[in-house]
Chains A and B, each alone.
Chain A
Amino acid sequence: MASKTIKVNYLARVEGESALKVVVRDGMVKSAQLSIFEPPRFFEAFLRGRAFTEAPDITARICGICPVAYQMSAVHAMETALGITIDGPLRELRRLLYCGEWIESHTLHIYMLHAPDFLGYAGAIDMARDHGEAVRRGLALKKAGNEIIALLGGREIHPINVCVGGFYRVPRRRELLPLAERLKWARDAALETVRWAASFDFPDRERDYVFVALRHDKEYPFNEGRIVSNRGLDIAASKYDEHFEETHVEHSTALHSCFRGGGSYLVGPLARYSLNFDRLSQVAQEAAREAGLGPICTNPYRSIVVRAIEVLYACDEALRIIDAYEEPERPSIPVEPHAGVGFGATEAPRGLLYQRYRLESDGTIAEARIVPPTSQNQASIEEDLANFIGGFLNLPEADLRHRCEQTVRNYDPCISCATHFLRLEMDRG
């Protein structure tokens, strides 16, 4: 039997270091393993023994692309542990901050990381030679998201303005008005992005995913909602551990999440969109229909279109929030520590991000648990590869390797968050 091994020592356009091994026997994909060999960073251990007030700043250091998600799940968990609820303008400002993160993170992935796969370029720099106008639009759109984070978070990366109970400082209404003008441009640019992404050629691949995402009574989910699935799951965040578990697999330093009793699931844009299409704003729903998407999307390669729709929604929602903004009387509500257990589940750009904390009576963190979206999607990434790559085995090696990489990038995986390089090894027996 012919034996062949394909190795890619570094997969660009993915955050983090990992390797991919695909085993092929008799023309069939037998297994696909995403091996994360990046050493664990022990953030959960760092948090133990620290004050509950430190969690937003410490967790914001986990990721440079989605720090808001880590902050938000952390503060919501602390607030549930301490029995306080954030509402009114403070709640809206947190939602606005999340809009900023979705805009910058999704736009980075759409334009700089994923679009080159569809247009046949090695990367964004090569793509920019022929698609300069599009890349300029992407950069400006991303900047609009970063400006929201800088204004509300104090700085673009690893923001420091979120605290348990609210914010350290809240913006004056006049500070938000220039942002609104930029966001009006950004909303148009996001609509152009949807149309641009929808024009790409997509492999005809579908999967019957178990989608898991937050769902809220009225809103497309950022900060709040029940954890639901398209298989009938409907639970509060406090019940997460009863339904999901993390297991160690030999080939990865990151834990794999699955349902208790087994079975993978998908978090992220496809899941969020398919479980919450009716919660999108009218302009986002119309753009989705124009892009050829129904209310459910099961083709992971079209995730780039779904991300663009979520960028459009985030711009639209940010404008709504700014228009309605009334300055709160104070930037935060008082918080008194006591013993308790708190749970936070919010929607990072890459999907559901769960955190659980147990606090001592003086507010010291006794236990911390952080389950990032990429950990939850690892099994699904491997199953996508096992399911889809079989149909590409007749491609030339370079094209096959590219399809593997593209399939992983469908998820915009943040390997560093989960525990960096993706090395591909193709074992054909």
Chain B
Amino acid sequence: MIPVFPALHIFCVLKWIEAEDMASDHPRRIVLGIGNPDRGDDAAGQAVVRILRGVLPLDVEVEEHSGEATSLLSRLDGVLEAFLVDACNSGAPSGTVQRFDVVTTPLPKDAFGLSTHGLGVAEAVELGRTLGQLPPRCIVYAIEGDSYEAGAPLSQPVAAAVADVANRLRSEIAGNGKSGEQAPCMKLR
């Protein structure tokens, strides 16, 4: 029988092998690209990690994630440095990038879209804070979206912001960036 989506199935088998390899060596640092790849600009976070996959230091795990709160919080367990990238809807011009140090500052809940059962990134961060389960360093990059139509590609401003955030993350993770010393919430565009 021919699998329906052979590439997807092969990818997932490879992910299995990768997961088994990683199990004994829990990552100290992680980058999570959050969103839905099939809903226009909601794919921004996942687009960033696709650029970063294979180009970051080996101890940094790079992963796409749906954003479901309990699963996301579970993914942050035991992590020392976490970088989350997600689309947001704060009313700023599309493509605007915001950086939040969520260890010190809550995310503006209204700016982040709701996930399944209304539990998304903002809820995961606050639940993690309440339970003392946030990583010692936890940074959220938010890219202002424009369109979230099913099946639509990234809008031009968001595509540009995706490349920008990928570059900033490479620099910050490499220790070259000064982002960590910036104010908790900073407009970068």
* Chain A contact residues, CB within 8 Å of chain B: 12-15, 51, 53-54, 56-57, 64-65, 108, 112-113, 124-125, 128-129, 132, 135-136, 139, 142-143, 146, 154-157, 160-161, 163-165, 168-169, 332, 334-335, 420
- Which A residues lie within 8 Å of B156 (CB)? none
| Beta-carbon contact of B68 and A64 below 8 Å | yes
Q: B74–A13 contact, CB under 8 A?
A: no
* Cross-chain contact A136 with B131 (CB below 8 angstroms): yes
Binds A, one of B84-92, B119-127, B137-145: B119-127
B9 interface neighbour in A12, A136, A146, A154, Cβ under 8 Å = A154
Contacts of A125 in B (CB 8 A): 123, 126-127, 130
Known: A112-B117, A160-B5. A135 touches B16 (CB 8 A): no
B12 touches A154 (CB 8 A): yes
In the complex, how many angstroms separate the beta carbon of A362 from the nearest chain B beta carbon? 13
Residues of A within 8 A of B13 (CB): 154, 169
Q: Are A64 and B66 in contact (CB under 8 A)?
A: yes
B2: which A residues are within 8 A, CB to CB? 53
Once the chains are docked, how many angstroms separate the CA of A195 from the CA of B92?
48
A–B complex contacts, Cβ < 8 Å, 23 sampled: A14-B117, A15-B117, A15-B118, A53-B2, A57-B5, A108-B117, A112-B69, A125-B127, A128-B127, A128-B131, A132-B130, A135-B127, A135-B131, A139-B74, A143-B74, A155-B12, A155-B15, A157-B66, A157-B71, A165-B1, A168-B3, A332-B1, A420-B114
Q: How far is the CB of B96 from chain A (nearest CB, A)?
A: 25
Using CB atoms and an 8 Å cutoff, list the residues of chain B in contact with chain A: 1-5, 8-9, 12-13, 15-16, 66, 68-71, 73-74, 114, 116-119, 123, 126-127, 130-131
Residue from A129, A139, A334 with most neighbouring chain B CB atoms (10 Å): A139
Residues of A close to B74: CB separation below 8 A: 139, 143, 146
Interface of A is mostly: mixed
Q: Which chain B residue lies CB-closest to A136?
A: B131
B residues less than 8 Å from A169 (CB atoms): 13
When A65-B117, A132-B130, A160-B12 are in contact, do A112 and B70 touch as well, CB less than 8 Å? yes
Contact of A161 with B1 at beta-carbon distance under 8 Å, contacts A15-B117, A64-B116 already known:
no
- CB-CB under 8 A from A57, the residues of chain B are 4-5
Beta-carbon nearest neighbor of A171 in chain B = B16
Contact pick for A112, options B12, B119, B126, CB 8 Å: B119
Contacts of B70 in A (CB 8 A): 108, 112, 139, 142-143
Q: How far is the CA of A16 from the CA of B114 in the complex (A)?
A: 10
Let me know if B68 and A157 touch, CB within 8 A. yes
Q: What is the CB-to-nearest-CB distance from A191 to chain B, in angstroms, rounded to a whole number?
A: 21
- B131 and A160: CB pair below 8 A? no
* A12 proximity list for chain B (CB < 8 A): 118
A125-B127, A128-B130, A155-B12 as given contacts; A335 in contact with B118, CB under 8 Å = no
In the bound assembly, the distance between CA atoms of A65 and B118 in angstroms comes to 12
**CA–CA, A57 and B3, complex, Å:** 10
CB distance from A144 to the nearest CB of B (A): 11
Task: Please tell me if the beta carbons of B4 and A53 are within 8 angstroms of each other in the complex.
Answer: yes
Taking A128-B127, A128-B130 as given, write out 7 further A-B residue pairs in contact, using a Cβ cutoff of 8 Å, ordered by the A residue number: A12-B118, A15-B118, A64-B116, A65-B116, A108-B70, A154-B12, A156-B71
Alpha-carbon distance A128/B125, docked complex (angstroms): 13
10 closest Cβ pairs, A-B complex: A154-B12, A128-B130, A54-B4, A15-B117, A64-B116, A12-B118, A125-B126, A143-B74, A57-B4, A125-B127
- Residues in chain A near residue B116, CB distance under 8 A: 15, 64-65
In angstroms, Cα B74 to Cα A278, docked, is 36
- B131/A335 in contact, CB under 8 A: no
- A135–B66 Cα distance when bound, in Å, is 21
Closest chain B residue to A128, Cβ basis: B130
CB-CB < 8 A to B5: which residues of A? 57, 160
| Chain A residues in 8 Å Cβ range of B15 | 154-155
Nearest chain A CB to B166 CB, angstrom units = 24
Q: Give the distance to chain B from A304, nearest Cβ to Cβ, in Å.
A: 15
